[in-house]
Amino acid sequence: MALGLISVVDDDPLVRQTLPDVLRELGFAAEAFPSALEFLASGRVAETRCLLLDVVMPGMSGYALQHELQRLGRRIPIIYITGQTDRAVRPRLSEQGAVACLFKPFCATALSDALAAALRDS
């Protein structure tokens, strides 16, 4: 039995291909979306227990998606995943309500720990 839907929103095809497999190995249902707009239009927002969200994407950024979800009244725990090397981004994301920020590449243990924190708080 799956532990709930984890949605992955990332413009990187490799992340969208591999991360859902890791999530399924951890016992979660997972679905990946190539953009924030596709996630919003998917009909899966209400089912999503946690969102793994890239910071920088073409079109709507991860930040903008977080603000749009707040505007819509959707409280979904967010774990940001980013390839940015600027470590100052982590405190900024935490201030905006992110549960965690994982820097690519990250290990399954770091992901599992972040998910446990996100789901414990939700």
What pLDDT, in 10s, does the model give residues 7-62?
999 999 999 999 999 999 999 999 999 999 999 999 999 999 999 999 999 999 99
pTM of the model: 0.93
Question: Residue 102 is encoded by which pair of tokens?
Answer: 């994982």
Alpha-carbon span 69 to 88, nearest angstrom? 24
Whose tokens are 């924190």? That residue is: 117
Which CATH code fits 5-121?
A: 3.40.50.2300
The phi-psi region of residue 97 (left if phi > 0; otherwise alpha if psi is between -120 and 50; otherwise beta) is left
